Amino acid sequence: MTLFRTLPLALAALLTPALASAQPAVEGAAIFKQQCQMCHVNTKGAKPAIAPNVFGVAGRKAGSSDFASYSPALKSSGVVWNTANLDRFLAAPGKMVPGTRMVIAIPDAKRRAAVVAYLQGLK
């Protein structure tokens, strides 16, 4: 009997770390759907319409994809996207890159981290 009672607990303990590490990206995917997908495409080779494709954005130079309407500000920012500057950009895009056409901010640090984790998985 004790075995049956403790087994689920033991399994949960084993599974929790794996779930915990996947969780931010999963939450980020949901946020992306709600707040980003109306502008951004996010799959390999998808044609950008009103905003750049964010597939492969981590490690990419800002303003360097085949999106035709980048702002001169973002293009010449010299930024290479990584965890820290994606976080900074999404906190206040116009503050980090004055003149950017990206105007959507995520003020909540936890939600922002989730979206950044999600973006980094797009590769």
Using CB under 6 A, which of the segments 2-10, 11-19, 64-72 binds ligand HEC?
Answer: 64-72
Other C-beta atoms closer than 10 Å to the C-beta of 65 total 16
Q: Is 117 in the site for ligand HEC (CB under 6 A)?
A: no
Dihedral-angle region of residue 50 (phi above 0 means left; psi in -120 to 50 means alpha; beta otherwise): alpha
Cβ(42)–Cβ(29) under 8 Å?
no
The span of 7-15, 17-25, 68-76 binding ligand HEC (CB under 6 A) equals 68-76
Q: Which of residues 75-104 bind ligand HEC (CB under 6 A)?
A: 86, 90, 100-102, 104
Q: Does 113 bind ligand HEC (CB under 6 A)?
A: no
- Note whether 35 binds ligand HEC by CB under 6 A: yes
Closest to ligand HEC by CB, 16 or 57 = 57
Q: Is the dihedral of CA 52, 56, 59, 61 positive or negative?
A: negative
Binds ligand HEC by CB under 6 A, chosen from 25, 41, 54, 114: 54
Q: Six-digit token pair at 58?
A: 């981590």
Cα end-to-end span (Å), the chain: 47
Tokens of 117: 């984790």
How crowded is residue 101: how many other Cβ atoms within 10 Å of its Cβ?
15
Residues at the contact surface with ligand HEC, assessed by CB under 6 A = 35-36, 38-40, 50-52, 54, 57, 62-63, 65, 70-71, 73-74, 86, 90, 100-102, 104, 106, 115
